[in-house]
Amino acid sequence: MTACLIVALPFCAALALTGCADDGPAPVDAEQARAFIDSAEARLMDLWIASQRASWVQSTFITDDTERIAAKAYEDVIAATLELAEESTRFDHLELPGDVERKIKLLRRSLVLPAPRDPAKQEELSILAVGLESDYGKGEYCPEGSASECQDLAQLSRIMATSRDPEELLEAWRGWRTISPPMRPRYERFVELGNEGAQAFGFADLSEMWLSNYDMPSKETMADMERLWQEVRPLYLALHAHVRASLVKHYGTRLVPEDGHIPAHLLGNMWSQSWINIYPLVAPSQQAQGFDLTQILRARKVDERGMVRFGERFFVSLGFDPLPDTFWERSLFTQPTDHDVVCHASAWNIDLEQDLRIKMCIEINEEDFATVHHELGHNFYQRAYSHQPPLFRDSANDAFHEAIGDTVALSVTPSYLQQIGLLDEAPSPDGDLELLMKMALEKVAFLPFGLLVDQWRWKVFTGEISSADYNKSWWDLRRKYQGIDAPVPRSEADFDPGAKYHIPANTPYSRYFFAHILQFQFHRALCKEAGYEGPLHHCSIYDNAAAGERLKKTLKMGMSRPWPEALEALTGERRMDATALLDYFAPLTAWLDEHNQDRPVGF
C-alpha cells in the first residue's frame, strides 16, 4: 500500500484510504463525497486548532523550542491537507451539490504554503517557514556590533516616525535591513519547496495557487488589480508631487530631487508604505492645527486595554455581542520586556469558535487607536462566521477580512470621537483638508506598495525574477510604482524584501491593495444604509443599528459563497469599484491639483 501511494499510477495516491485495486478505483457517488468532506473537515479542524495554539505560543514567546513545536504542528496540517486533497480527486467526475463542490475546491487551496509530497521536504519547509518569521520577530540592529545598544523594530520605527535628522533616519533605515540578508538563501529554498508543493496541488506555482482564492482565473484577478490601480494612480501622483515638493522645502534639493524619486528614509515609515508621520511637513499651509488624538489619549491616561475597550464599544454599538472574557485574559496587548515576541499586530480565533484574541504591542497614539478598531474587525468577523462549516470559516476572500477592519476604522471620525467623549466638540468643516490629507498619507500612499509586494513575489514564484536579481527587482518595482528610491546604493548582498514582515511570514499581500479599495466601497454602502447623506469623509456608522445589521448579515456568510455575492450583499454591487475612494478624497484632489500647477508631477 505504501509503495502504491508513493510511486504508482497518478490516481493511486488518491486511494490511500481505500486501497489500490488492479481493475481501478471503486465507483463513488455524491453521498460518499459529502461523507468524505464532512470527515475531512472534522479532521482538519483538530489540526488547525492545534497549529493555531502552537503558532500563538511561538509568536508570543519565541524560542528554538516553540519554533520547532509550531513547525511540527503546521507540518501536520500540510501533510493532512495534501493527503485529503489528493483523495478528493476521486469525486472529480461527479456532479456534486454546490456546497460539497465548493468545499472540495476550498480544501485544495486552503494552504497559503503547500508542501511537496516528500515527508522530509514537508518537515524542511515547515522549519524554514517558522524560522523565517521568528528571525523577523527577533530582529535587532546593534550599531557597530554593540549588544548593549541594540534596537528592535519598535524602537527603530519610533525614530523613523519622529526624527527629522536625515542621518539618524538613514541609520535606522539601514539598521533594520541588516536583519534580512541571512534570510536570503533560506528564502530561495523556501520558494523552491513552496512551488513544488503548489504543483502537487495541480498549480503551476505558488502565485497561481494564491490567485485561485479570488474565484476567477488568475489573469482576471491581475487585470482587476491593474484596472483599479489605473483608476487611483492620478490621485497618488498628485499626492506624491505635493509630498516631494514639501520635502524639498524642508530638506533641500541635496537630499530630495525636485522631479524624481523620493528617498525612502524621509517618509516617516520603515517601508514608506504610510506617510502619516510626516504630516506636519506636508500639511495644507493655511489650515489650523486641529486636534492631536495622540495627546488627547495620553492626557486622559488611556492605557492599552482602554484603547481596546473603545474598539469593542464601537462594535457593540452596532449590535454585536461584547468580546468574551477569555479575550481579555489571553490576548497580548503590550510588548514583554523579558522575552521576544512577534509584535506585528494580528487577530486570532484559536478554536475557530469563541477563543478570540489579538496580539499587538499597543502604543498610545492615533495610529494604534485606528489599528485596534481594525484588528477587532477581524475578531468580530471571525465570530460572525463561526457557525459555518469549518471550510467556510473565513472571509469571502482574503481582502474582505482586511477591508472590514479598515471600514470600521474609517468611522473613527471627529464626530465619532466627540460621541465617545474624546473630543469636546467636533472641528468645523474648515478642517476637512487637514483630515483628508492625514487620511491620504495613510490610505492613498499605501496603494502602490500594496500592489508591488505581490508583483515582486509572484514574479519570484514564476521564475521571472531569478534569485540573482531579488534586490534589484524589488527596487525596480518600488521606483516604478511608488516613485521612491533607496537612500543609499543597494546590492544583491542585501535582501530588502525580507525586511518587510509579510515576505518572511509568507503572508499574501494583494489582499491589502484590494482592501484599500473595498473599504471605501463598503463604507459608502453602510453610510447609505445608515441614512447618511453628507460628505463621505464625515460619515461614521457608530451606534447605527441599520448599518450594523447589514454588516452582520454579510459577515455571517463567511466563505460559503463566492466573494462577488458577499460584495453584493453588502453594497448591491458585484465588482470592486474605486469610485468610492475617489469620492471620499474629492476635496483634497481639487486642492492638490490647484497647488501642483507649477510643480512637476510624476517620476
Q: What are the Cα distances from residue 511, in Å, to 252, 389, 403, 529?
A: 37, 23, 9, 25
Distance CA 413, CA 434 (A): 13
Residue 24 has pLDDT above 60, yes or no: no
| Per-residue cell: 487 | 537612500
- What percent of the chain is predicted at pLDDT more than 90? 75
Query: Using one digit for the tens of pLDDT, what is the confidence trace for 473-487?
Result: 999 999 999 999 999
Mean model confidence pLDDT for the chain: 90
Map residue 6 onto helix, strand or coil: helix
Instruction: Kindly name the residue from 261, 265, 373, 502 that is annotated as catalytic.
Output: 502
Percent composition of the chain: helix, strand, coil (DSSP 3-state, to 5): 65, 5, 35
Distance CA 85, CA 437 (A): 48
Asked which of 267-271, 426-430, 457-461 is least confident by mean pLDDT, the reply is 426-430
Split at pLDDT 50, 70, 90, the class of 217 is confident
Question: In this predicted structure, what is the pLDDT of residue 575?
Answer: 94
- What percent of the chain is predicted at pLDDT more than 70? 94
Residue 279 has pLDDT above 70, yes or no: yes
374 is catalytic: yes
Map residue 151 onto helix, strand or coil: strand
Residue 503 has pLDDT above 60, yes or no: yes
The dihedral sign for the CA sequence 140, 144, 149, 154:
negative
Split at pLDDT 50, 70, 90, the class of 289 is low
CA nearest to 343, candidates 393, 263, 401, 270: 270
Split at pLDDT 50, 70, 90, the class of 520 is very high
Instruction: Kindly name the residue from 214, 481, 509, 512 that is annotated as catalytic.
Output: 512
Instruction: Kindly name the residue from 344, 367, 538, 586 that is annotated as catalytic.
Output: 344
Instruction: Kindly name the residue from 378, 401, 516, 537 that is annotated as catalytic.
Output: 378
Question: In this predicted structure, what is the pLDDT of residue 117?
Answer: 84
123 is catalytic: no
Split at pLDDT 50, 70, 90, the class of 286 is low
Distance CA 121, CA 468 (A): 24
358: which DSSP letter? E
Query: Using one digit for the tens of pLDDT, what is the confidence trace for 405-456?
Result: 899 989 988 889 999 999 888 777 777 898 899 999 999 999 999 999 999 9
Split at pLDDT 50, 70, 90, the class of 111 is confident
Question: In this predicted structure, what is the pLDDT of residue 212?
Answer: 86
**Helices 184-200, 119-138: inter-axial angle, 10-degree rounding:** 140
Average pLDDT over residues 97-124: 89
Asked which of 26-30, 194-198, 398-402, 545-549 is least confident by mean pLDDT, the reply is 26-30
Average pLDDT over residues 281-288: 76
345 is catalytic: yes
470 is catalytic: no
538 is catalytic: no
- Report the amino acid identity of residue 110: S
Residue 213 has pLDDT above 90, yes or no: no
375 is catalytic: yes
Are the C-beta atoms of residues 400 and 563 closer than 8 Å to each other?
Answer: yes
Question: In this predicted structure, what is the pLDDT of residue 10?
Answer: 28
Instruction: Kindly name the residue from 208, 304, 375, 434 that is annotated as catalytic.
Output: 375
537 is catalytic: no
Buried/exposed 281-295: b ≥16 CB within 10 Å, e otherwise: bbbbeeeeeebebee
Asked which of 367-371, 379-383, 579-583 is least confident by mean pLDDT, the reply is 367-371
CA torsion 26→30→32→37, rounded to 10°?
A: 120
426: which DSSP letter? P
Instruction: Kindly name the residue from 240, 242, 261, 374 that is annotated as catalytic.
Output: 374
Question: In this predicted structure, what is the pLDDT of residue 2?
Answer: 31
Average pLDDT over residues 338-365: 91
More reliable by pLDDT, 215 or 469: 469
378 is catalytic: yes
